[in-house]
Amino acid sequence: MPKTIINPPGSPPPLAPYSPGTMADGVLYVSGMLAMDKEGKLVGPGDVRAQTRSVLDAVKSVVEAAGGKLTDITFNSIFLKDLADYAAMNEVYREYFPTQPPARYCIRADLVRPEFLVEVSSIAHVGR
């Protein structure tokens, strides 16, 4: 089955060999998004709320570039540098998924750079 690479305008440069999103057979896979602006600079140093907002905006941009919306997301993988940030991350997360939130998990993990506090990867069913 063919796949389509989704690379929304204004995406930061990738930190490794990956695409922001890949669509195949109506399913969109969104890479782990980090709190970076379009130049690749950190957004919200030391502020998990600001970083969560940036990350979820990045996820949203990939989903929308694929023709979907946040309500099409069926699963999120959430990685936190420090589980002490769990409640603060959830405050912002609820703004993006106020009703019928997708399935998810959240784990503590070392992220690619020490200044990153949160990372989210998603799966969405955008349609066929």
Q: Is residue 64 flagged as an active site residue?
A: no
Instruction: Single out the catalytic residue among 70, 106, 111, 123.
Output: 106
Q: What is the DSSP string of the chain?
A: ---EEE--TTPPPPSSS--SEEEETTEEEEEEE-SB-TTS-BSSTT-HHHHHHHHHHHHHHHHHHTT--GGGEEEEEEEES-GGGHHHHHHHHHHH--SSPPEEEEEE---SSTT--EEEEEEEE---
Kindly list the catalytic residues.
106
